[in-house]
Chain A
Amino acid sequence: MSGIGKWLQERIPISGVQIQELTNEPVPNHLKRWWFALGGTPAYLFVVQIVTGILLAFYYQPAASTAFESVRYITEEATFGWYLRSLHKWAATLMIASVILHQMRVYFTSAYRQPRELNWVIGMALLMCTLLTGFTGYSLVFEQLSYWGATVAANISDAVPVVGRFSKQMLLAGDSYNERTLSRFYILHAAVLPTTIIILVAVHIAFIRMHGVTELKFEDEPEDKPQHFNFFPDHILTELMIGLTLMIVLSALATIFPASKGPKANPMITPEVIKPEWFFYVSFRWLKLFSLTFAVLSTGFIVSAMFLWPWIDKVLRKVTGNEDISVYIGIIATFLLVGLTVWEAAVAH
């Protein structure tokens, strides 16, 4: 062992073999298919978000009078600012998409069932945190749609019974968007939500390690083939490949479709065509279809049902005697989700 190696070994008394033993857990064969590695994708993108977010924070100024100008400076003047901002934007988009896809995979393979119910709840909390981070991040740009999106969202929370008004005032630092609102979005976006996500991801991974990955069998797999492979280095290599591919895809998207910016927020004029970010199209269309009270209460009901789905699924299977009842419900929900999103995307009003 070299001098440096010895010095390190003495101060960090752990060997490569010990690390391998600690991390090595047999990984079921189905994880060789990339769509089963979708859980690692948002984790990788989250790291991209932290790195690019810290860099953007060097220039961003969270105040109504300076925010838009600082975003303009980042985009137009800071060296590679346009690239870093575009990476941040596209990584957010892909992160939300991959979290949704990961959740759909878990749902349709019933991987949330006993004993993994609590990890599904943690995953749902992660989905909510990711959506909130996306929302607060979009608000920071302080363009017209940022401002009006935040106003609409705050007023939606106002319609929630009992705690609505309080949560709106806490979010906006007042009854309406004011000079102290943007700093709240900033601290939520850059500190509170990322910290919460890190803690939840740690618990999520701890649960996966405790229960192991759900074993799925495929008909085309021969019986005599080994059922598992090593986490280290085999699965790590798969994740590295996904990471590399993602970096190429992100870089390409950021270069070909760089993050743009609309007109600066104007509290006096709501734009004629107003849309939130794509992942809120469903809620936006829902709000157009129904009264505010019904839309808010039904959304709350659906989200609560999603949190409690492992137990609802159990009751449904018992009552109907159909093991796949949740799959059918999931297919209908997916059609509804995609249908409402496309509808909102296709029309101006």
Chain B
Amino acid sequence: MKESPEADPSEKIETSKQERQPVVDEDRRGFLGSAAVASMLGGLAVGYGAFASHAIRFLYPANVGESIWQFVCTLDQLKINESMPFTMPSGAKIVVARQAEGETADAFIALSSICPHLGCKVHWEAANDRFFCPCHNGAFDAQGAPTEGPPASANQYLMRYPLSVDRNLLLIEVPVDAVNVSNAGETA
């Protein structure tokens, strides 16, 4: 826009300053107001977010997946093709067997009795020479290989508990977290 030649430039500047002043104030106030609201909302979000995170961490089990190594027997206590019962910390009974000669853990096997399909207990059916899971009709051979049902379709073996040998002692790694049978296992 062109200025008229008659106008005093200093007067013009003064006027425009006066006009602009409240606008600047309003802008500043608006900005500060929005910033205050945003920081309050941000503070609340961070605060509640931190609380939610703490709540989830509180609910998440603290000692998940914890296991311990336990003594089973000395190596010479198990001859080839012999087996012995072993009681887990939970009270569950499993069988540890020697399959081959040798002084390494590979010579032994400790089969879990938990079906890899959905966690039910398998039991040995002597008549059919198999482990059977009554939940969804899964079956396994004596080595824990799946033969029937959903585990066979998905090629899921019975889990083998990790074994190790330390100075002639056979050790087994077992989970510590389970319902204690002495509390819950009796049949009413």
Q: A residues engaging B (CB < 8 A)?
A: 64-65, 68, 72, 142, 148, 151-152, 154-156, 166, 169-170, 172-181, 261, 263-274, 287-288, 290-293, 349
Contacts and interface: CB of A to CB of B under 8 A. Distances in A.
Contacts of A176: 119, 175, 177-178
Given A174-B177, A177-B178, A266-B185, A292 B61 contact: no
Contacts of B93: 268
**Which 5 residue pairs are nearest across A and B when measured between Cβ atoms?**
A65-B183, A270-B121, A155-B119, A155-B118, A270-B120
A270 B133 contact: yes
A178 B134 contact: no
Nearest to B185: A266
Given A72-B188, A169-B60, A288-B150, A178 B178 contact: yes
A68 B186 CA distance: 11
Main secondary structure of the interface of A (DSSP, over half): loop
Nearest to A150: B119
A176 B112 CA distance: 14
Given A151-B119, A151-B120, A267 B61 contact: no
Given A176-B177, A269-B121, A293 B92 contact: no
Given A152-B119, A287-B136, 15 more contacts: A64-B180, A65-B183, A148-B120, A170-B60, A174-B64, A179-B183, A261-B188, A264-B186, A266-B185, A270-B121, A270-B134, A271-B134, A272-B134, A291-B153, A349-B137
Nearest to A181: B179
A267 B179 CA distance: 7
A149 to B, nearest CB: 10
Contact of A268 (B91, B150, B153): B91
5 contacts: A151-B118, A176-B178, A267-B90, A270-B122, A274-B135
B64 A175 contact: yes
Interface in B89-111: 90-93
